Structure 1
Amino acid sequence: MQFFKKYSLCAAVGACLCGSACAQTVADGVNTICSSPVEFQSGAYKIAGNLYLSKGFDASKKYPAIVVSHPWGGVKEQTAGLYAQRLAQKGFVTFAYDAAYYGQSEGQPRDTEDPAQRVQDIRSAVGYLASRSEVRPDAIGTLGICAGGGYTLHEAQTDPRVKAVASVAAYDVGGAFRNGITGSPVTEEQYQQTLKAAAEEWSRVAAGDKPTVFKLLPDKKDWTKDTNAFTKEAYSYYRETRGASPNAKNLCTLASFGLHAGYYPLEHMDRISPRPVLLIGGEKAESLVFSQQAYDKAAEPKELMVVPGATHFALYDKEEYVGPIVEKLTKFYGSALNVKD
């Protein structure tokens, strides 16, 4: 399809991508409850996740818990798993899972990025945690990274079981599809071209054709002088040893983009109030605009934490940023979920 040669979808919507070698996210002193992934049902699909407990876990007690949602195209072994494990070290029960269509979870066609299903997965994960004997069902928070942040903010607007919600480098897949990100705007021609291609794909698939699947991040050999810094940094995390995972395939179905066009996750941020919202974004991140938009639309109590000098992907795993962010999240959830020292 010539359209892919003319227009890099990655520049507009590929903020959360993936790769091929295993990410190192195991945190010292944190246990995984089971030797095989925990499973729960989310609509029609069985979802796989990892449940994390602190070293001092006491089975006779109940703990506050946090659902952690991964970026677009990511899996639980990457940045979501890192944050889940670090927060488990602080005494929370945490849960990182593979969204439907990704990793070890069910869902066909594979590598579909469906906003409605992503929100359903978070809602189902909250229910799953609430059912566990070690969790206080009245003390559940949610956290999302990148696109997982956009979905998490959206889900909390209509789920009062979520007592506190936070995002790290939040990314609005709908806004990015329509308008692009800072430094990589989408023209009206590009928007219409992509929308037309997605609509034609829907018809082909309905007629029995196999889904069109393409790489979210181009191979280095395909980079040009126009390949932007955002794409290059994404590659360094998702497709190199820094953060790549064999369970993340760096793929997306073309039909996914038609689902993004009408998605507006930040429009009703005020509905979360009086539950607290914490938005964390990098000062140099192209995605910071989404955290700012979410903050502007939210009602109190709310906070926007802009991390000096940080880019979008630096917030995924760079210790100079992750460490202070985890401390901030610990205080945020500790207060909101009534954690006693």
Structure 2
Amino acid sequence: MTTSDGYTFALDENVERTSVRFKNRYGIEVAGDLYVPKNATGRLPALAVSGPFGAVKEQSSGLYANEFARRGYVALAFDPSYTGQSGGTVRDVASPETYTEDYSAAVDFLGLQDIVDRDRIGVQAICGLSGMALTAAAADSRIKAVATASMYDMSRSMSRSYQDSYTPEQRHQVVDYLSRQRWKDAENGTYARGLHEVPFDEAGNLVEADSIFPETLPADPNPVLAAFYDYYRTERGYHPRSINSTTAWTATTPMAFFAFPLMANLDMLAPRKALLVAGADAHSRYYSEDVHKTAPDTVDLVIVAGADHVDLYDRKDLIPFDTLDEFFTKNLA
């Protein structure tokens, strides 16, 4: 339920939250909330936190940051560029490169804080910002450890669809649709909205829409749709600045994710460590499992019994914070 201050969770009584701004290397101003334990002394370990894809810092990432601060970390929850309260001229456009850069910019900011130990900075990512977090860590050695929850590989998701189910013909159809949409946007001088994971209907036709979720659920909804809807469109997690709660991404957003795969240099993460957390019942579980297979000596995998994908957004009874805390304590030593 959204609180009176606009957050979908209550601030812990032992934590202080401050609104902050910092710039990435492209000059885009990124908006964040800095969570710090009250009465903290010395230099503390710190975490940059973001996600899910299409969410804002007042939702899941803030909840995670609040919990980590309660446990003794300085935690920065931030809105990626072009979304929420962050800057960027075209609103609600996603970029694999820029979103990856935003994590490094968050590390820049954290490393300038007197209360932060620069040698103990990690990243916690949720859902669709997880691929960017792992990509950032592979290229930025200041990130000493990275954890994800309900990881999505957005490049794989957009360019190949769920469970890599696009046929080669469908992939070409999506690229053609995105390419033609660019001319439409150029002619209109505006940026149309569209589905970032472009589906096909039962007749094999590409589906277009200007909002991610319907106003109301159908009588017998797809379970994955129902789970996302229950978070983004109800009191549980609704926020008016969240793309997923209110609208859709720019229609041409998937183009960059076809062109630039995430996590291509995951081997560069070693000897640093990653921890991937996935729900046993999550439709997205295979993303974490596949990444784990590519680097089992660097990447650990935790499967949470009884949890689906969305449960790890805000179900504190299911999110394994003790395990995450233990991971960061060990790897940010």
TM-score when normalising by structure 2? 0.87
**What one-letter code is carried by the residue in structure 2 that aligns with 1:318?**
R
By how many angstroms is 1:274 displaced? 0.2
Distance (Å, rounded) in 1 between the aligned partners of 2:270 and 2:111: 21
Alpha-carbon contact 2:181-2:251 (below 8 Å) kept: yes
2:264 equivalent to 1:267: yes
By how many angstroms is 1:179 displaced? 2.6
Find the residue that maps to 1:81 and give its secondary structure: helix
Partner residue of 1:196? 176
Alpha-carbon contact 2:16-2:38 (below 8 Å) kept: no
Alpha-carbon contact 1:163-1:337 (below 8 Å) kept: yes
Residue from 314, 322, 325 that aligns with 1:330: 325
Alpha-carbon contact 2:145-2:274 (below 8 Å) kept: yes
Residue from 15, 28, 33 that aligns with 1:50: 33
Alpha-carbon contact 1:22-1:241 (below 8 Å) kept: no
Find the residue that maps to 1:176 and give its secondary structure: helix
By how many angstroms is 1:299 displaced? 5.2
Deviates more, 1:48-57 or 1:212-221: 212-221
Distance (Å, rounded) in 2 between the aligned partners of 1:218 and 1:154: 32
**In structure 2, do the counterparts of structure 1 residues 69 and 295 end up closer, same or farther at CA, with 3 Å as the change threshold?**
same
By how many angstroms is 1:199 displaced? 1.2
Partner residue of 2:224? 230
**What one-letter code is carried by the residue in structure 1 that aligns with 2:11?**
A
Partner residue of 2:216? 220
**What one-letter code is carried by the residue in structure 1 that aligns with 2:92?**
D
Alpha-carbon contact 1:282-1:312 (below 8 Å) kept: yes
**What one-letter code is carried by the residue in structure 1 that aligns with 2:326?**
K
2:99 equivalent to 1:118: yes
**What one-letter code is carried by the residue in structure 2 that aligns with 1:149?**
S
Find the residue that maps to 1:195 and give its secondary structure: helix
Alignment of 1:89-168 (within 5 A): 89-168=70-149
Distance (Å, rounded) in 1 between the aligned partners of 2:165 and 2:311: 22
Deviates more, 1:89-98 or 1:288-297: 288-297
TM-score when normalising by structure 1? 0.85
Find the residue that maps to 1:320 and give its secondary structure: coil
Alpha-carbon contact 1:33-1:52 (below 8 Å) kept: yes
Deviates more, 1:239-248 or 1:260-269: 260-269
Identity fraction in percent: 30
Q: Deviations over 1:313-341 (max 9, x none)?
A: 0111112212xx11111101111111xxx
Distance (Å, rounded) in 2 between the aligned partners of 1:284 and 1:228: 14
Alpha-carbon contact 1:23-1:241 (below 8 Å) kept: no
**What one-letter code is carried by the residue in structure 1 that aligns with 2:192?**
T
Distance (Å, rounded) in 2 between the aligned partners of 1:280 and 1:312: 10
Partner residue of 2:278? 281
Distance (Å, rounded) in 2 between the aligned partners of 1:267 and 1:249: 27
Q: Deviations over 1:271-301 (max 9, x none)?
A: 1010011011111111111101111122523
By how many angstroms is 1:248 displaced? 1.1
Find the residue that maps to 2:87 and give its secondary structure: coil
Alpha-carbon contact 1:279-1:291 (below 8 Å) kept: yes
Partner residue of 2:12? 28
**In structure 2, do the counterparts of structure 1 residues 158 and 260 end up closer, same or farther at CA, with 3 Å as the change threshold?**
same
**In structure 2, do the counterparts of structure 1 residues 148 and 274 end up closer, same or farther at CA, with 3 Å as the change threshold?**
same
By how many angstroms is 1:196 displaced? 1.4
**What one-letter code is carried by the residue in structure 2 that aligns with 1:100?**
S
- State the number of aligned residues: 309
Q: Mind listing any 5+ residue stretches in structure 2 that lack a counterpart?
A: 194-209
Q: Deviations over 1:130-170 (max 9, x none)?
A: 11111111110001100111110111111100000110011
Partner residue of 2:202? none
Distance (Å, rounded) in 2 between the aligned partners of 1:167 and 1:231: 22
